[in-house]
Chain A
Amino acid sequence: MKIHFIICVFLISILSFGQEDFEDFLLVEKDSTSFYAFTKKGVYTSLLLGDGEYSTKYSEYSKEVPKSLSGIYFNTLSPLRVDGSIYFLFPGGGLLFQFKNNTIIRIDESFAHRNQYSGFFFSHKNELYLLGGYGYWEAKNYLTKFNFQSKSWDVVPTKGSAPKGGINQGSFIKRGDSILVYDFYTRSSSSSVDKQNQNLFELDLSKLEWFKKGMLADRKETKIENVFGSSRINFSGSIFLKYPNDLFYTITNPVENSVLRYNSNNRLTQLGPKGILVGNYLVYSSKTADRLKYKVSYVDIHSFDFSGQELFILDDKYLFKRYFIFAGLFIIAFILITFFYFKTKKTLLYLTSDSLFNDSSSIIILSDEFKLLKAFGLNNYLENALVLSLFSDETKSLDAVIKKKNKLILDFNEKFKDVFGNDLIIKKSDSLDSRQVVYVLQDKFKLIIKP
């Protein structure tokens, strides 16, 4: 009995925790001083009063929200304000809703295709588009447009250098007729790795053409897990970016090619992915003191300390020149090393009974020459007496043998010089006894006797 009671209490406590009703709302900028907070039952319209204060007016929807919205968190929708209308895109794309006459209605006849999670939902010339995203284990780089006639999404063909491997969790800036895309992750179906792309791309919406605009300045690669909770907010052609665990945020301004860095210290620790900018104020949801519900907080974005400026895109020309300074030094060093290595390296000469050769040239040798060279193959330094002994002949006088030796060496050197450009055998006086004559091989050459 006691055990049953304990189990019941345990189950009730788990269920009660699981069914705790957290408030779920979606923030959307209304104008430079006010914003909406959409919930599943109604919408709060708040006016910022400064000093952390705001006034709020609540208005319940005149109709229930469509059923397709009941199963998801509201703050997972992608909102878009176009003139007087507000549109909401279902996570992953497909279902489209509009806030109209104090109610949210579904305006598409599409389906939740789930191919474009984290895609960029934007409007251009009163048309709604969705660019890139992730779905079914690969990132996509295609552009889809909502067709208000057929109430479905059509793929818009683009040309040029679209990011290969798709665009997942990217930063997007819309400027006039073009969209800048950077800081995104690629992932193809053949690779299970999310790789952060380091380039800036531009999609020209008038020509529907992609351009690769250059490389981002060197920055630490961020793992995709850290990006999920990050806050990226578009405002007036710039992007506010803060990663969950960082104690700073950055504002990227492509026009000025700068990334400004501000210290947020511990003041923005609760800033999640769905914050918005209203005028100069950063509006975001944060947990209440009991940590059971969320409340809306806001802070002046200019109230943080500026801590530095970095380049946004690298200067290609500068980088290219720098590369070629390194490459030039490498080539010069390589040429010099190769040159001096071979200039000081001994040339190998192979000796067989009838020829002397290397890789490029060869000469035919006589048997006496072979005898002499063979002796040099064993010792680089031959005394005159030893050389004479090679040609000794009992039938001839010593004088004749000396003449024969001298003529042979002279003729051989001439023959060798014609082909290899140098004398091979040099006559010298002995360093220990200057009266003695010795024969040495030219330093440049080394003889190898081939069997």
Chain B
Amino acid sequence: MIFYNISAVFGTISGIISVSMFLLLGGIVSYFLNGYIYSIFSNNKILDPITSRSSHRSKATRSGGLSVFLSICLCLAIAGSTNSLSINPYLYLSVLFMALTGIADDFFNVRYREKFFLQLFAGLILLQSGYSINSFHGIFGVFEIPYWLSTIVTLFVFLIIVNAVNLIDGLDGLASLISIKFLIVMGGVVMIGANEMFLFFPIIIGTLLGFLLHNFNSVRKVFLGDTGSLFIGASMASFIVFVLDSSSQIITDQYLSRPLFCVLILIYPLSDTLRAIVLRSFKNQSPFVADRIHLHHRLADKGYEHWAASLLIFVLSITLLITNFFLFQYIGLNFCVIVTTALMIIYYYAFFK
């Protein structure tokens, strides 16, 4: 057995090797599978139509999510068979259910109301795992909350995150880069708190990197599609619920308030979704209407190439997280919120206005 204590990965050579192996495996499998599934989609003329809202002008498929999902399944099976990984089966089920919803949406266009109920159902499956947002961790002076409220809050947060990730999937690489940032940070937390789940992170990061090579390709372009964004969104939501469950051991408690930590690692999807909903409400539009008022569209309209816009958002959201990590111990939660808001306003005027 070469996989010793995976949790102590960064303390041992064997741990680093096993993590690197799975990162590489995910990347290679995803890269080839993306190419293969692209060819199948392309040969069968299952292409993403070019409309007025489309950001692409050349042939592209929405096969990325399916390829990423299948790559992850394969890598998880290998990790599971070597006893290196153990994840609560309800977490798997919830994420699997969202991936299937995404596949259905990519092929048959599921209506928004139906998709909402399917997302709600996936959230209910997640609750069966035993993880829930059962505490506000001191926000508004509230800690433990009753079971019924915990269920409602967990489902609400699940829906918000899944849809927020779905909505930011509008530029090449954006959803993937934001997810990679989330997964890198969350990987550190899970490595300490629930090391048996840790290998999930190098696997999914590897598969996203493999996908990115196709996503940034101008000729054989592949998009994540709803399969990818719903699958990744559900994975991210599950780990947010894990962090906000009061029984979880979270290392960042020593550096940062849990709710603030969760908001910061999802700062772009959350702030962009909130902004879009507010603007649409002012215009008396449905909050779910498809348009080009997202922040990343502003960058694209300003002449940023997709990769540059995605990378800029990736870097800006990392700076917000790092700033809070360093400042929280000195200025506390309230001032951290003020500083974060001020920084976001500065970023908005400097880059997005």
Judged by a CB distance under 8 angstroms, whether A421 is at the interface is yes
Q: Distance in Å from the Cβ of B244 to the closest Cβ of chain A?
A: 14
Q: Distance in Å from the Cβ of B217 to the closest Cβ of chain A?
A: 10
Judged by a CB distance under 8 angstroms, whether A55 is at the interface is no
Q: Do A160 and B247 touch across chains, with their CB atoms under 8 A apart?
A: yes
Task: Tell me the bound Cα distance from A218 to B311 in angstroms.
Answer: 36
Partner of A359, one of B5, B8, B172: B172
Judged by a CB distance under 8 angstroms, whether A17 is at the interface is no
Known: A160-B247, A338-B307, A359-B56. A221 touches B4 (CB 8 A): yes
Q: Do A331 and B307 touch across chains, with their CB atoms under 8 A apart?
A: no
Interface with B: A228-236, A265-273, A316-324, A385-393, which one? A316-324
Q: Distance in Å from the Cβ of B254 to the closest Cβ of chain A?
A: 7
Residues of B293-316 contacting chain A, CB below 8 A: 300, 303, 305-308, 311, 314-315
Residues of A within 8 A of B221 (CB): 359
Q: Mark A308-343, 1 if CB is under 8 A from B, else 0.
A: 000000101101101111110011001100110010
Q: Mark B232-249, 1 if CB is under 8 A from A, else 0.
A: 000000000000000111
> Could you list some 27 contacts between A and B, CB below 8 A?
A161-B248, A161-B249, A165-B86, A190-B89, A193-B83, A198-B6, A199-B7, A215-B8, A216-B5, A217-B8, A221-B3, A316-B192, A319-B11, A319-B192, A320-B191, A320-B251, A330-B184, A331-B181, A335-B311, A348-B219, A357-B57, A358-B218, A359-B56, A359-B57, A360-B300, A360-B303, A362-B57
A-B complex: 9 closest residue pairs judged by Cβ atoms: A218-B8, A348-B218, A212-B249, A322-B10, A323-B188, A161-B247, A198-B5, A218-B5, A342-B307
Residues of B within 8 A of A334 (CB): 180
* Number of residue pairs A-B, CB distance < 8 angstroms: 120
Q: Do A327 and B188 touch across chains, with their CB atoms under 8 A apart?
A: yes
Q: Do A339 and B57 touch across chains, with their CB atoms under 8 A apart?
A: no
Does more than half of chain A's interface fall in helix, strand or loop, or is it mixed? mixed
Q: Do B251 and A317 touch across chains, with their CB atoms under 8 A apart?
A: yes
Judged by a CB distance under 8 angstroms, whether A219 is at the interface is yes
Judged by a CB distance under 8 angstroms, whether A195 is at the interface is yes
Residues of B within 8 A of A164 (CB): 88
Judged by a CB distance under 8 angstroms, whether A220 is at the interface is yes
Q: Distance in Å from the Cβ of A288 to the closest Cβ of chain B?
A: 38
Residues of B within 8 A of A195 (CB): 83, 86, 196
Q: Distance in Å from the Cβ of A216 to the closest Cβ of chain B?
A: 7
Task: Tell me the bound Cα distance from A221 to B84 in angstroms.
Answer: 11
Q: Distance in Å from the Cβ of B342 to the closest Cβ of chain A?
A: 24
Judged by a CB distance under 8 angstroms, whether A304 is at the interface is no
Partner of A339, one of B187, B219, B311: B311
Partner of A198, one of B89, B184, B195, B306: B195
Task: Tell me the bound Cα distance from A327 to B23 in angstroms.
Answer: 13
Q: Do B8 and A319 touch across chains, with their CB atoms under 8 A apart?
A: yes
Q: Do A359 and B58 touch across chains, with their CB atoms under 8 A apart?
A: yes
Q: Which residue of B lies closest to A210 (CB)?
A: B247
Judged by a CB distance under 8 angstroms, whether A99 is at the interface is no
Task: Tell me the bound Cα distance from A197 to B197 in angstroms.
Answer: 12
Partner of A350, one of B12, B58, B192, B318: B58
Number of A residues contacting the other chain (C-beta, 8 Å)? 51
Residues of A within 8 A of B216 (CB): 342
Residues of B within 8 A of A342 (CB): 216, 305, 307-308
Q: Do B86 and A212 touch across chains, with their CB atoms under 8 A apart?
A: no
Task: Tell me the bound Cα distance from A448 to B57 in angstroms.
Answer: 13
Partner of B4, one of A212, A218, A320: A218
Task: Tell me the bound Cα distance from A221 to B195 in angstroms.
Answer: 14
Residues of A within 8 A of B184 (CB): 327, 330-331
Residues of A within 8 A of B16 (CB): 326
Residues of A58-102 contacting chain B, CB below 8 A: none
Judged by a CB distance under 8 angstroms, whether B323 is at the interface is no
Residues of B within 8 A of A448 (CB): 219
Besides A219-B4, A319-B192, 12 other A-B contacts (C-beta < 8 A):
A195-B86, A198-B195, A214-B192, A215-B7, A216-B5, A223-B1, A320-B192, A323-B10, A327-B184, A359-B58, A359-B305, A360-B303
Residues of B52-109 contacting chain A, CB below 8 A: 55-58, 83, 86, 88-89
Residues of B20-40 contacting chain A, CB below 8 A: none
Residues of B within 8 A of A322 (CB): 10-11
Task: Tell me the bound Cα distance from A330 to B201 in angstroms.
Answer: 14
Task: Tell me the bound Cα distance from A421 to B86 in angstroms.
Answer: 51
Q: Which residue of A lies closest to B81 (CB)?
A: A193
Q: Do B303 and A218 touch across chains, with their CB atoms under 8 A apart?
A: no
Q: Do A360 and B187 touch across chains, with their CB atoms under 8 A apart?
A: no
Known: A317-B254, A330-B184, A342-B305. A359 touches B55 (CB 8 A): yes
Q: Which residue of B lies closest to A194 (CB)?
A: B83
Q: Do A359 and B218 touch across chains, with their CB atoms under 8 A apart?
A: yes
Task: Tell me the bound Cα distance from A164 to B193 in angstroms.
Answer: 13
Judged by a CB distance under 8 angstroms, whether B259 is at the interface is no
Q: Distance in Å from the Cβ of B86 to the closest Cβ of chain A?
A: 7
Q: Do A360 and B191 touch across chains, with their CB atoms under 8 A apart?
A: no
Judged by a CB distance under 8 angstroms, whether B287 is at the interface is no
Partner of B306, one of A199, A216, A325, A360: A360
Residues of B within 8 A of A199 (CB): 7, 195
Q: Do B193 and A212 touch across chains, with their CB atoms under 8 A apart?
A: yes
Task: Tell me the bound Cα distance from A360 to B188 in angstroms.
Answer: 36
Task: Tell me the bound Cα distance from A223 to B10 in angstroms.
Answer: 23
Q: Which residue of A lies closest to B305 (CB)?
A: A360
Q: Distance in Å from the Cβ of A383 to the closest Cβ of chain B?
A: 29
Task: Tell me the bound Cα distance from A184 to B344 in angstroms.
Answer: 47
Q: Distance in Å from the Cβ of B183 to the closest Cβ of chain A?
A: 10
Known: A320-B251, A335-B311, A360-B306. A215 touches B10 (CB 8 A): no
Partner of A215, one of B195, B219, B303: B195
Q: Do B11 and A314 touch across chains, with their CB atoms under 8 A apart?
A: yes
